[in-house]
Chain A
Amino acid sequence: MNIIIPELVLDISLFILAAAFLGCIYRMIVGPSAADRAISSDIIGNIVMCAIAVYSMKIHSTEYFSAVLVIAILGFVGLTVIAKFIYGGDVIDHDK
C-alpha cells in the first residue's frame, strides 16, 4: 500500500506557492506602513514552510521538517517583536 502523489501535482503546487511568494514581495516593497511589511514577512514564512513540506514530499525524505518547525518559531517571535516595537518603540520593558 504505497500512496504516490504524482510529480505533476507537486510541481504545480510549487509554482502556485512561488506566485504567492511574488505577491508577498510586492506588498513588502509597496506597503505603506510597517505593519504591512510585518504581515507580509509572516506570510512569506508560512509559504516557505508549505514549500519545504511539498519539496520533501517530492524527494521522499523527512529530513527538512526540523527546518519547518524552526521557521514557525522564528516567524512568531519576529512578528511579536516587531509588533512590540511599533507599539511602544521599545522591545523590552525596562520599568517595573
Chain B
Amino acid sequence: MTTINSILLSVMVLGGSLFALMATIGLVRFPDVYCRMHSTAKASTMSIFLIMLAAFFFFLADGHGVNSRCLLVIVFVFLTSPVGAHMISKAAYHYEVEMWIGTTYDELSAYNAALDSFSVEDDSDDEAIKNESFSVEFE
C-alpha cells in the first residue's frame, strides 16, 4: 500500500513539473502574445495544482498534520490566474500589439464596430422619438 501511494505521489510531482515545462515550451515557441497567454495560463495552473496536492498528501502522511496553506495556494491560484491573463491580454489588445499573421478572425474589433454603429442608430432613434412626442404635445 505504501509503495502504491509513493508511486502516485511521484507521478504527481513529475507530472506537475512537466506541466510547468510545457507552459514554458508554449511561452517560447508560440508566435503571438495571445497564443502565449493561452498556453501559460492553463498549464502553469495545472502544475501548481498537482505539486501542491502532492505536497499536501506527503505532509499529511509524514506526520506534519493537515497543511492548509497548500490548499489555500491552490484556491488562490485557480481564482487569480485567469483574471491576470485576461487583464494582460486586454491591455495588450488596447496597446495594439500585433497579432500573428495567420489570425483569421478578430472578434473584439467586430464587436466594437457593431457597438459603435448600434449606439449611433440608437441615438438617432431617440431623437426622432423625442421630436414626435414634442410635436404631439405641441399640437
**Which residues of chain A have a CB within 8 Å of any CB of chain B?**
1-6, 9-10, 12-14, 16-17, 19-21, 23-24, 26-27, 33-36, 38-40, 42-43, 46-47, 49-50, 53-54, 56-57, 60, 62, 65-66, 68-69, 72-73, 76, 79-80, 82-84, 86-87
Contact = CB atoms under 8 A, between A and B. Distances in A.
Secondary structure at the B interface, as helix, strand, loop or mixed, is: helix
Of B33, B37, B91, the most chain A CB neighbours within 10 A belong to B91
Contacts of B91: 35, 82-84, 86-87
B17 A50 contact: yes
Interface of B: 1-2, 5-6, 9-10, 13-14, 16-18, 20-21, 23-25, 27-28, 33, 36-37, 40, 44-45, 47-48, 51-52, 54-55, 57-59, 61-64, 67, 69-70, 72-73, 76-77, 80, 83-85, 87-92, 94-95, 97
Chief secondary structure at chain A's binding surface = helix
Given A2-B61, A5-B9, A33-B33, A16 B25 contact: no
23 contacts: A5-B9, A5-B10, A12-B14, A16-B21, A20-B20, A27-B36, A33-B92, A33-B97, A39-B36, A39-B88, A43-B44, A49-B73, A53-B54, A54-B17, A57-B55, A66-B69, A69-B72, A80-B84, A80-B87, A82-B91, A83-B88, A86-B92, A87-B91
